[in-house]
Amino acid sequence: MLRESEVHQMLTEKIQSAVPTAAPAIIFEALCHAFPLRRLHSKKAHASALSVSIKIAEFLTTQDVPSSIKKQILDYADSLGLLIETFEREGPLKKVPAVFGKDILSYLMAEHNLRQADLRKELGGQSIVSAVLAGKRNINRKQMLALGKRFGVNPGVFVG
């Protein structure tokens, strides 16, 4: 298993080879370390992000900051602002109940007025259709492809 330092080094090298930068953004990295740029999942995280944003604005208005450093701070503040805006527009993430392949199949059968016997060809027999819908058996790759073709959907919706 990779250690955190190895992952950090590998990702840094990959990113730098894809997008070369003139100079390392040390201040931006430090800000990301202090308050990581992640999707805000709660009101508490939103309040913290607002607080950080206000502190950054206060800092920039009260200090004489060199333009190269100011650019890094403003880039960070812009990214943080987008996260704040997204949270304010969409609210906290809601837990989505797990949806399994059998649930998708049941839904599609109801939408197309199909019975279990109608899917014998795609799944390999009515007993298999019954086992899949009861959650006793998973849908395999070949069956996913056949169901995807039958219903005109991405076969990946039947995973799980």
The reported pTM is: 0.50
Rounded Cα gap, residues 128 and 146, in angstroms: 14
Percent of the chain having pLDDT more than 90? Answer: 48
**pLDDT of the residue at 23:** 55
* Most distant pair of Cα atoms in the chain: their distance: 75
Residue range 91-109, pLDDT digits in tens: 887 766 778 889 999 999 9
SS3 87: helix
**pLDDT of the residue at 20:** 58
What domains can you pick out in the chain, each with its CATH number? 4-90 (no CATH), 101-158 (1.10.260.40)
